[in-house]
Amino acid sequence: MLIKEIEPFLTLDEIEKWKANRMQMDIAAFVHLMRRLEPRDKPYHILELGTGATTPCWQTIIQREILPIQLISVHHDQHAVAAFQKQLKGVEGIELRCSKLKQIDDQEWEKLFTHASQVDTWDLFNQLGKDVAPSDYALYTIRNAFYADLKQSLPDEEKVDVLILAGPYGNGRSLAFPLLYQYASKEMLILIHHFDDYDILHDLSRVFNYNEIYREVRGYERWILLQLKKE
């Protein structure tokens, strides 16, 4: 899409709300992502891990029929999910899901990454680890934690075209890579918030080959846009 096609749906009110929370993903990240999505008849299947600032923007895109979108947005905070469900009530094409978190140890982590292309990683993941106590969900430094119920939200027949990786907290976001190995389209776009907090890019390279499109490292505005290499 062209910038002139994107700007009209970003109202001043939406932009100000976005700027109000410095911990949210930068609005420029969303614009850079949109520039890589061309109009087509087939819906883009978008998986958003960590419901947040981008979620209402997808609502605008759907309602104004800018692009065909099927969005699944997952978060571990049931109160946040309930608030967004109220805000986005009745919008077709958006599913908001709440998932508990599971934590695995370092050896189990290695099993998932080592066997990502060889086994059903979800079957393996379901046999590993333990549930995270809800009181620990808000810990920013929690290790090796990921959405335990995500598989139930993944498309059955279609591949994921866009992955927005903004949650959960901690290094566990990297578990999206082995767990989505079988669900990613060949040229899936990946937008990662705070990509340099942990070794996320190294973890990604263990599972996929990718090209970097753009990165922003400026204060709180730290994000990167990538695309998987077509085999």
pLDDT tens-digit map of 118-144: 888 999 999 999 999 999 998 889 999
Tell me, what's the pLDDT at 8? 59
Tell me, what's the pLDDT at 12? 45
Give the model confidence (pLDDT) of 60-100 as tens digits: 888 888 899 999 999 999 888 888 888 887 788 999 999 99
Q: What predicted TM-score, i.e. pTM, was given to this entire model?
A: 0.92
Q: Report the half-sphere exposure of 131 (CA within 13 A, side-chain side).
A: 7
Tell me, what's the pLDDT at 41? 93
**Taking 90 as the threshold, does the pLDDT of residue 171 lie above it?**
yes
Q: How many whole angstroms separate alpha carbon 102 and alpha carbon 11? A: 38
Cβ count near 172 (within 10 Å) = 22
Report the Cα–Cα distance between both ends of the chain, in Å, rounded.
25
Split at pLDDT 50, 70, 90, the class of 24 is low
Written in H, E and C, the secondary structure of 79-138 is HHHHHHHHHCCCCCCEEEEECCEEECCHHHHHHHHHCCCCCCHHHHHHCCCEECCHHHCC
**Taking 90 as the threshold, does the pLDDT of residue 212 lie above it?**
yes
Which domains does the chain possess? 3-228 (3.40.50.150)
Q: How many whole angstroms separate alpha carbon 60 and alpha carbon 75? A: 20
Which residue type sits at 2? Answer: L
